[in-house]
Amino acid sequence: MNKFFLTTAFTALAFPPLAATPTADSCNHGFTIAPGTTAGTFVLEWWGIDEHIYFIEHSDDLVSWSFFPIYELGLDGPLSWGVSMTGDRHFYRAKFSDDPESTLLSTDYNGAMLSAWDQIQLGYIPSTGSIRTPTASTMPGRSIISAT
């Protein structure tokens, strides 16, 4: 774990991507959204910093935010999620940290009486309390179609 702890967030709106593949030097870690291979699908992509844990939130109005029921561990390489959305507006933001004491990782998001950090260490998804599996997750009007 790095001695310098960072907790931050960045947001991507439904605009064309600015760079093809994110790198460690990309602005906002290269967080982009691009059309997927089929109608109604999109790909979120960004650079994952080593040992940082990433959560993606989504919103239809930029006021109410919800976590996608998944997280990713950065390994100094590109990360991407395929998503399928219904509706007219789609907003996404990534939150990340490598500090177990940060608000992002010390919060109990599902009432399990364990921090997000502790749930991740035990193999659970902090936003749902379910066991983390590589299968697709579904939510009303939203689907995660791939995570790499």
pLDDT digits (tens, 9 = 90+) for 11-63: 444 444 444 688 888 888 889 988 888 888 889 999 999 999 999 999 999 99
CB atoms within 10 A of CB 36: 15
- pTM, full prediction: 0.73
Q: Does 7 or 78 have the greater pLDDT score?
A: 78
With bands split at pLDDT 50, 70 and 90, how would you rate the model's confidence at 106?
very high
pLDDT digits (tens, 9 = 90+) for 66-85: 998 889 999 999 999 888 87
User: By the 8 A CB rule, do 118 and 90 touch?
Assistant: no
Mark residue 118 as left, alpha or beta (left: phi above 0; alpha: psi -120 to 50; beta: remaining).
Answer: alpha
Domain extents in the chain: 8-143
